[in-house]
Amino acid sequence: MSNVVLREQFSILHIPFAFISASEVLIIDPIPNNVLPTLLTSLKKYGIELLENQKSINLQKIKDTIIDLVNLEDNLPTTKISTFLAEKLNLSYTSISNIFSELTHTNIEYFIILQRIEKAKMLILEDNLSFTEIAWKLNYSSLAHFSGQFKKVTGLTPSYFKKIVRKRKTETNNN
Amino acid sequence: MSKNHNTIVLLVDDDLDDRLFFQESFEEIKIDTTVHLLKDGKELMDHLEDPSHKLPDIIFLDLNMPILSGMDCLVKIRKNILWKDIAVAIYSTSSSETDVENSFINGANIYIKKPNNFDQLRKILSEVIMINWQYQTSGLNRDNFILNIK
Amino acid sequence: MLKNTIKRSSFLLRGTFIVSLVLLIFITLVSFFHNVRVKDSSKSVMRSFDTQIKLQMLLTCLKDIQNTQIDYLLTYDSIYIYINQYDILKLNQIHSDLVKLYLKDTLPLIKLNQLKKKIDADLLSIKIDPMNKVDHSFFINLLRTRNEKLNQVSLQIYDMINLQVIKIKQTQDKLQTEVYLDPFFIFFIFLISLFSNIFAFIKMNGNLNRLKIANKQLIIDTESFKHAEEIGKFYHWEWNIDQDTSKFSENLYNLLDFSPLDDVITNEIYIQFVHPEDRNLILEATKKAKITHLYFLPLYRIILKNNELRYFMSVGKTITDKEGNSVMIGVTKDITTEHLNNQVLNRQNRNLIRSNKELESFNHIASHDLQEPLRKIQLFISKISEQDLNSISLNGRETINKIQISTDRMRKLIDDLLQFSQFNKSDHLFNNIDLNKIVMAIKRDLDIDDNTLTIDFLPTLKGIPFQMHQLFLNLITNAIKYKKPNIPIRISLKSELVSEGSFLKDSNDFHKMYYHISVSDNGIGFQQEYAESLFILFWRLHQSTEFSGTGIGLAIAKKIVDNHNGFIFAVGNPNEGAAFNIYLPA
C-alpha cells in the first residue's frame, strides 16, 4: 500500500527512485530543497515519515518486526521475541532495548503488550470471535488473564470497550 | 525518532490552581511537550480555529466549566473533521460511570479522574503522553484509542 | 325458598278449596236425594196407613149400617132410619176418600169400585120400608143373607187391608236397605273431609309459619339495611328511565340534612343541592347511562342548606324484568371524609417525595462539592517537595503529616458519602438476578478460593444488579477484613425460603415469602448489643487504628436491602464470628 503511495508521490514530484526491498526504497538523485518539504508533507498525510538517522531506522525496524510478530497467527512469548529480534536485526538485545527506551520512553515489553491489546481491540470490533477465542488467539493463558491485561492497559473491560465503540458508532451515525 | 518532535498539549480548565498544577507536572516529563493553558471553551475554540496555531496533538478538557462545558467542547471538536486526529482527554473530578461512558461515547479517547496527589498527576500525564505518542508513531488505530484512568 | 313456599301454599289452598267444594256439593246432592226418597217412602207409608184405616172404617161403617138396620128391624124406631142414612152418607164419604187415596194405584182402584158396586148391590139395596112390617122369618133370612154378604165384603176389605200392610212392609223394607249404607257412607265422607282438612291445615300452617319467620327476618333485614345506609353514609335509588321517575331511600334525607316532613325530594330538588359547576356532570352521566346502562359519577359536590360542602359519588346499573321493563338501581355515597383525607394524603405524599428528592440531591451535591477544595488541599500537600520538607522543623513536618492523614480521611469519608448517596431506589429497574453469579464474580474479582468462601445454592430474585453486587461485596470484604489474626477466614453463604411471620417480630403474615440469605464467618465477631448500631452510617465498632474504613460498608448494605423491601440483621459472638441474615422478598 505504502509502495503505491510512494510511487505516486515520487512520480508527481518527478523524483527518480528504486525499491530495494519491500520496505526500503532508494532515492537515486538527491532531492532538491524546495521539493523536500512538499514531499514530506504529502507523505505525512499517508502516515509515511522520513527517518533521518540510523537509530531511527533501527527503531522503526524493531517496531515493524514486533508489529508483524503480533499480527501473525501464533504469538511468541517475550523471551523468544528478544532472541528473535536480536537475530533479525543483528544487534544484541540490550542495545535494542536501549535504543527503544531512549527513543520511545518506554520498554519493548510494554510496546508488545500495547500491540497485542491493539490487535485485541480490532478482533473485538470485528465481532467474529468470542472473547475466549480472542484470548486464545492472542496466546493468553486464559480469558481471565486476557481480561486482566486488557483492563490494566486500557482501564476498561473488553466488553465495556466493545459497548462503548458500538454506542459511539450509533452516536456518529445519528449526527 | 527525531528529537524535534514535540507533543503539543492543550489544557482547558477554569480553575487557576488546576492549570498551574498541570503545567508544573509537565515540567518533569521526559517527552518534549509544549503546553498551552486555556480557561474556557471559548478560548479553546478560538485557539483551534486560529490558523496561525499549530493543531495540538492532545487536548485535556475539564468537564465542569461554565458557559461551555467540557462535554459540549468535546462534541464540537469531534464534529470537525479537521480535528479528528487530535486526541481528547477528559480530565475531571467526577468519577461517575455516566460521565465516563458519555465522554467515551461522545468521542473522548481518554478519561482521567483528577488525582489528589502531585506525584500521581505527574505519572498519569507522563503515561498519557507516552501512549498518545505510541498512537501517533506506530500506526495504531486512533479510533480505538480508549483509555480510562481512575 | 320463600317463593316455593308461596307457590305451594297457593296450590294447596286452591286444591283444598276445590276438594272441599266438590265434597260439599256431593254430600248435599246425596243428602237431598236421600231426603226425597225418605219423604216419598214416608208419604207412601202414610197413605197406606190412611187407606188401611179408611178400609177399617168402611168395614166398621158397614157393620154399623147392618146394625142400624137390624136395630130398626127390631124396634121399628124411625130414628134408626135417620142414623142409617147418616151412616150411608158416611160410607160414601169414606169411599170417596178411599178413591182419592187410591188415585194413583189403578188396579186397587178398580177393585175398590167393584167393591163399592158390590156393597151397593148387596148390602144397601135392601130397603127398609117403614110401612111394611116384616115378619120374623123374613127378618131372620134377611139377617142370614146379609151376614153372608157382609162376610164376603169383610173378606175383600181385609184383603185390601192386607195389601196395604204388605205395601207398607215393602216400602219400609226398601227404605231399610237404602238407609242401611248411609251411616257408612257418611262416615267415609267424614273421614276424607277430616283428613284432607287436617292435611291442608298442617301444610298451610307450616307455610304460614315459614312466611311469618321470613317476614320477621325481612323486617330485621330492612332495619339492618337502613342502619347500614346510615352508618355507611349512602342511600340507594331507583330510576325508571322511560318515565323518568325516581325513588330514593330514606337516608337521602339524612345525608342532605333534610327533614322528611319538609318536602318530598324529587329530581329537580336534588339538582338544586348539586354545586352549580357540577350540574352538567350529572347531565352527562345521565345521558351516558341511557346508552350504556351504567351510571357512574365518581365525584361531585353538594351544597347543604347551611352552605356546607359535601362530596358525593354515584354508581348505578340497569336491571330488566321478564316483561322487558328496565329500571336503573344505584347507590349514592357521601365520600366527603374520604375525599378530604385523600387530598391531605396526596399533599403529604407530594411533600415527602419532594423532600426525598431534595435530600438525595443534597447528599450528592454536598459530597461532590466538598470534594473539590479537599482535592486541592491534598494536591498542595503532595506538592511540598522533599527539599521543602527538609527546610521545615521537625514539628512542622509532623504537623504537615497529620494534616495529610486528616485530609486523606476526609476524602475517604466524602467518597463514601458520595457512594452512599448513589444507592437510591428511584429510577432503577428491577431485573432478575442470579445471586450465585454475583457472588461468583466477586469471588473472581477478589481472587478468593473455594476454601475461603463456600456458597450453598443462592436464589434468583428481582433486584437492582449493581446494588446487589455492592451488597455482597461489602459483606464479603467485611468478613475478610475482620478475620482473626493467623486463622484463615472462612465465609459461608446459605439460603432458604421462609415466611414473613417466622422472622419478623411484628408480623403475623405466614404467606408472604422471603429468601433468607445468611453470610456467616469465623472472624472476630462482635458483641450482640451492637448488632443494630453496626448499620449506622459512619458508626465504627473498632478504633480507626485497628481497622481501616469509614464505617460505611454496612450502612450501604442496609440501604440496599431497604431499597429492595427487605431486612438485614446481624448476629455476633465475640471471637467466634459474625453472621449477617438478609431477608429479601421472593
Is the Cβ of C96 closer than 8 Å to some Cβ of chain B?
Answer: no
Q: C interface mutation test: which of B19, B98, B112, B117 has the most C CBs within 10 A? A: B117
What is the band of B75 on the pLDDT scale with cuts at 50, 70, 90? very high
Most confident of A5-19, C12-26, C417-431, C505-519: C505-519
| Judgement on whether residues A72 and A118 belong to the same structural domain of the protein | yes
DSSP bridge pairs for C276 = none
| Judgement on whether residues A67 and A27 belong to the same structural domain of the protein | no
Instruction: Give the nearest partner residue to B144 out of A67, A121, A171, using CB atoms.
Output: A121
pLDDT (average), residues C178-203: 82
List B residues 115-144 in contact with A (Cβ-Cβ < 8 A). Answer: 130-131, 133-134, 137-141, 143-144
Between residues C312 and C81, the one the model is more confident about: C312
Lowest mean pLDDT among A7-16, B58-67, C17-26, C485-494: A7-16
pLDDT (average), residues C280-290: 89
Mean pLDDT value across chain A: 76
**Interchain pair C382, B116: CB under 8 A:** yes
> Beta strand C491-499 with C453-455: parallel, antiparallel or unpaired?
parallel
Per-residue confidence (pLDDT) for residue C86, from 0 to 100: 85
Between residues C252 and A33, the one the model is more confident about: C252
pTM (predicted TM-score)? 0.53
pLDDT single digits (tens) B106-129:
999 999 999 888 888 999 998 898
Instruction: Give the nearest partner residue to B146 out of A56, A59, A156, using CB atoms.
Output: A156
Task: Using an 8 Å CB-CB cutoff, list chain B residues near C375.
Answer: 93, 114, 116
For residues C488 and C482, the answer to whether their CB atoms sit within 8 Å is no
- By percentage, how much of chain C surpasses pLDDT 90? 29
Mean pLDDT value across chain C: 85
| Judgement on whether residues C118 and C179 belong to the same structural domain of the protein | yes
Instruction: Give the nearest partner residue to A171 out of B105, B141, B147, using CB atoms.
Output: B105
What is the band of A118 on the pLDDT scale with cuts at 50, 70, 90? confident
Residue A2 has pLDDT above 70, yes or no: no
Task: Using an 8 Å CB-CB cutoff, list chain B residues near A106.
Answer: 130, 134
pLDDT single digits (tens) C408-454:
888 888 877 777 877 776 667 888 999 999 999 898 888 888 889 99
> Beta strand B110-113 with B147-149: parallel, antiparallel or unpaired?
parallel
Total count of domains within chain C: 4
Can you give the three-state secondary structure of A104-144, one letter per residue?
A: HCCCHHHHHHHHHHHHHHHHHHHCCCCHHHHHHHCCCCCHH
Task: Using an 8 Å CB-CB cutoff, list chain A residues near B133.
Answer: 104-105
In a domain, C214, yes or no: no
| Judgement on whether residues A35 and A73 belong to the same structural domain of the protein | no
Is the Cβ of B27 closer than 8 Å to some Cβ of chain C?
Answer: no
Is the Cβ of C410 closer than 8 Å to some Cβ of chain B?
Answer: no
| Judgement on whether residues A44 and A120 belong to the same structural domain of the protein | no
Per-residue confidence (pLDDT) for residue A49, from 0 to 100: 66
pLDDT (average), residues A117-138: 87
| Judgement on whether residues C437 and C565 belong to the same structural domain of the protein | yes
Tell me the CATH number at A111: 1.10.10.60
List B residues 34-73 in contact with A (Cβ-Cβ < 8 A). Answer: none
- By percentage, how much of chain A surpasses pLDDT 70? 77
| Judgement on whether residues A63 and A144 belong to the same structural domain of the protein | yes
Joined together, the cell numbers standing for residue C389 give 520538607
**Interchain pair B131, A67: CB under 8 A:** no
Between residues C106 and B67, the one the model is more confident about: B67
Give the chain B residue nearest A154 (alpha carbons): B147
Residue C511 has pLDDT above 70, yes or no: yes
List A residues 57-86 in contact with B (Cβ-Cβ < 8 A). Answer: 59, 63, 67
Q: Measuring CA to CA, which residue among A88, A84, A80, A89 is closest to residue A58?
A: A89
| Judgement on whether residues C479 and C496 belong to the same structural domain of the protein | yes
**Interchain pair A168, B134: CB under 8 A:** no
List, in sequence order, the alpha helices (H) in C233-278: 251-255, 267-273
Task: Using an 8 Å CB-CB cutoff, list chain C residues near B92.
Answer: none
Per-residue confidence (pLDDT) for residue A175, from 0 to 100: 61
| Judgement on whether residues C90 and C135 belong to the same structural domain of the protein | yes
Domain span including residue A66 = 55-174
Per-residue confidence (pLDDT) for residue C446, from 0 to 100: 87
Most confident of A137-151, C245-259, C397-411, C514-528: C514-528
| Judgement on whether residues C26 and C48 belong to the same structural domain of the protein | yes
Per-residue confidence (pLDDT) for residue C461, from 0 to 100: 93
Q: How far is CA A128 from CA A132, A133, B66, C473, in A?
A: 12, 9, 44, 34
Rounded to a whole number, what is the distance in Å from the CA of B17 to chain A's nearest CA?
A: 27
pLDDT single digits (tens) C142-158:
777 777 888 888 888 88
Is the Cβ of C412 closer than 8 Å to some Cβ of chain B?
Answer: no
Rounded to a whole number, what is the distance in Å from the CA of B16 to chain C's nearest CA?
A: 11
What is the band of A76 on the pLDDT scale with cuts at 50, 70, 90? low
Is the Cβ of B65 closer than 8 Å to some Cβ of chain C?
Answer: no
Total count of domains within chain B: 1
Between residues C387 and C473, the one the model is more confident about: C473
Domain span including residue B40 = 7-118+131-149
| Judgement on whether residues A107 and A146 belong to the same structural domain of the protein | yes
pLDDT (average), residues A88-97: 75
pLDDT (average), residues C385-395: 83
Rounded to a whole number, what is the distance in Å from the CA of A62 to chain B's nearest CA?
A: 11
Residue B88 has pLDDT above 90, yes or no: yes
In a domain, B2, yes or no: no
| Judgement on whether residues A111 and A169 belong to the same structural domain of the protein | yes
Between residues B65 and A95, the one the model is more confident about: B65
| Judgement on whether residues A42 and A67 belong to the same structural domain of the protein | no
Lowest mean pLDDT among A81-95, B54-68, C486-500, C515-529: A81-95
| Judgement on whether residues A75 and A138 belong to the same structural domain of the protein | yes
| Judgement on whether residues C444 and C397 belong to the same structural domain of the protein | no
Per-residue confidence (pLDDT) for residue A79, from 0 to 100: 54
| Judgement on whether residues C371 and C315 belong to the same structural domain of the protein | no
Per-residue confidence (pLDDT) for residue A53, from 0 to 100: 66
The residue from C296, C315, C334 where one domain ends is C334
For residues B10 and B47, the answer to whether their CB atoms sit within 8 Å is yes
Tell me the three state secondary structure of residue C461.
Answer: strand
Residue C516 has pLDDT above 90, yes or no: yes
Instruction: Give the nearest partner residue to B105 out of A114, A154, A167, using CB atoms.
Output: A167
Query: Residue C547 and residue C6: Cα distance in Å, rounded?
Result: 89
Tell me the CATH number at C493: 3.30.565.10
What is the band of B1 on the pLDDT scale with cuts at 50, 70, 90? very low
| Judgement on whether residues A103 and A31 belong to the same structural domain of the protein | no
The residue from C304, C334, C364 where one domain ends is C334
Total count of domains within chain A: 2
pLDDT single digits (tens) C393-409:
888 888 888 988 888 88
Tell me the CATH number at C241: 3.30.450.20
**Interchain pair A105, B30: CB under 8 A:** yes
Between residues A13 and C469, the one the model is more confident about: C469
pLDDT single digits (tens) B24-35:
888 878 778 899
The residue from C366, C390, C422 where one domain ends is C422
In a domain, B126, yes or no: no
Per-residue confidence (pLDDT) for residue B3, from 0 to 100: 44
Query: Which of left, alpha, beta for A77 (phi over 0: left; psi -120 to 50: alpha)?
Result: beta
| Judgement on whether residues C434 and C563 belong to the same structural domain of the protein | yes
Tell me the CATH number at B144: 3.40.50.2300
| Judgement on whether residues C274 and C157 belong to the same structural domain of the protein | no
Give the chain C residue nearest B117 (alpha carbons): C379
Domain span including residue C58 = 2-199
What is the band of B2 on the pLDDT scale with cuts at 50, 70, 90? very low
| Amino acid identity, position B12 | V
Residue A64 has pLDDT above 80, yes or no: no
Task: Using an 8 Å CB-CB cutoff, list chain C residues near B21.
Answer: 379, 383
Interface predicted TM-score (ipTM) of this complex, two decimals: 0.84
What is the band of C232 on the pLDDT scale with cuts at 50, 70, 90? very high
What is the band of A77 on the pLDDT scale with cuts at 50, 70, 90? low
**Interchain pair C383, B93: CB under 8 A:** no
Q: Measuring CA to CA, which residue among C493, C485, C506, C571 is closest to residue C532?
A: C571
